[in-house]
A and B are shown apart, each in its own frame.
Chain A
Amino acid sequence: MAMIVFAPLFLTILAVLSIVLLSIYQVTSADRVCKREVLRLQHELSLLMKSLSKLNHVAQALRKKRELADENLAAALATGYGPAIAAAAAAQRAVVLEQQALALKQHQLLSQAGLERELSEQRLRALGSSVGIQELRSTPTHAATLAVRAQPITSITPDYVEAPSFRERESQTYQYKINLFERWPPWLQQHVLNPKPVSTACSATLSPQEENWKPILKKASL
């Protein structure tokens, strides 16, 4: 019976410990889900980046071929000889078609990158709701697709190279809030003085390494 005296003390310690553990668990889970998703996205983008970069060699070869075809056509036009002009024009047309096919591949990769970013946000929104992530938003600082620039810009099939401030522009940042008191019983929530959700963020980008791009986490600013 004398042990009953200690019951309030035990219960208080137990309650405080439960609250601390629950908070740690909630923050860790949300953080983990967000970082995992943002790393997964960058992994997908690194594959697209690699594929796009591989097409640069083909693009260069086609630009040279096009230059030659243009010169041949100009020379044929200068001669005024009909069959030569027709042959040169046909050859040039074939190169242009090849270029257009490659440009389609390049644009497809860029569009896929944009789609991956959108899908990632939707995926995180779905996964995040189970761990208490609220008010999720993606910061608009990043590139819409991949942080690349076309070089030369006038070509149908340019090389796509890393844009200036690549890491910054390639990064994807998610800002969100976690309500640490959401899972508390309502009668206990009433006693919380400041029940505002905690703002937090996660971010990842790609780190260029030779012919590869490695996904890395980035310190996210709120």
Chain B
Amino acid sequence: MKSSSGQALLETVLLLPCAMLLFVCFLSLAYAAFARAWIGYQTDRALFCLAEGESEFQCKKNIESSVNEFLPFGRFHHLQLSSNGDQWLAEVDWRWNQIRLQKQKTLKWDSSIWR
């Protein structure tokens, strides 16, 4: 009985850090996946905002507040929105620890340029 409980304790001591590590890795990956989708979505929204004639400052403020609201960890290292005639551009560089998300999107009527 004594040896059996000792073995269980040993198992727990060994497995708990592994389980915790796995859990943290899993959560980090889930967070990164959500961040990727959310930043992509918000970048699109920022481009739409520019295309609606809003100022670059206002659209930048919108994307920053939406991203910071749902992604408490990580921040923008570079965020640039610009209008160039009838096309609108967004450059985003968001970082969280070792994870780096870079996006460059252009909005134009021509579908081949919209990436």
Interface residues of A, Cβ cutoff 8 Å to B? 2-3, 6, 10, 13-14, 17, 20-21, 24-25, 27-28, 31-32, 35-36, 39-40, 42-43, 207, 214-219
Asked whether, in the complex, the Cβ of A14 is within 8 Å of the Cβ of B30, the reply is yes
Q: List chain A residues, Cβ under 8 A from B107.
A: 35, 39
Chain B, interface size category, equals 20 to 34
A2 to B9, CA, bound (A): 12
Give the 4 A-B residue pairs with the shortest CB-CB distance, closest first: A39-B109, A217-B51, A43-B109, A40-B109
Residue of B nearest to A127 (CB): B111
Q: List chain A residues, Cβ under 8 A from B23.
A: 6, 10
B33 within 8 Å of A (CB atoms): yes
Residue of B nearest to A202 (CB): B48
Q: List chain B residues, Cβ under 8 A from A2.
A: 11-12, 15, 19
A-B contact pairs, 13 of them (CB 8 A): A2-B12, A3-B19, A10-B26, A13-B30, A17-B34, A20-B37, A35-B107, A43-B110, A215-B86, A215-B109, A216-B52, A217-B48, A218-B52
Residue of B nearest to A204 (CB): B51
> Which of B19, B48, B86, B108: most chain A Cβ within 10 A?
B86
Residue of A nearest to B40 (CB): A28
B38 within 8 Å of A (CB atoms): yes
Asked whether, in the complex, the Cβ of B110 is within 8 Å of the Cβ of A40, the reply is yes
**Minimum CB–CB distance for B103 against chain A, Å:** 13
Asked whether, in the complex, the Cβ of B33 is within 8 Å of the Cβ of A21, the reply is yes
Asked whether, in the complex, the Cβ of B44 is within 8 Å of the Cβ of A217, the reply is no
**Minimum CB–CB distance for B30 against chain A, Å:** 5
B73 within 8 Å of A (CB atoms): no
A216 to B38, CA, bound (A): 24
Q: List chain A residues, Cβ under 8 A from B85.
A: 214
Q: List chain B residues, Cβ under 8 A from A36.
A: 109, 111, 114
**Minimum CB–CB distance for B66 against chain A, Å:** 12
Q: List chain B residues, Cβ under 8 A from A31.
A: 44, 48
A13 to B30, CA, bound (A): 8
Asked whether, in the complex, the Cβ of B41 is within 8 Å of the Cβ of A43, the reply is no
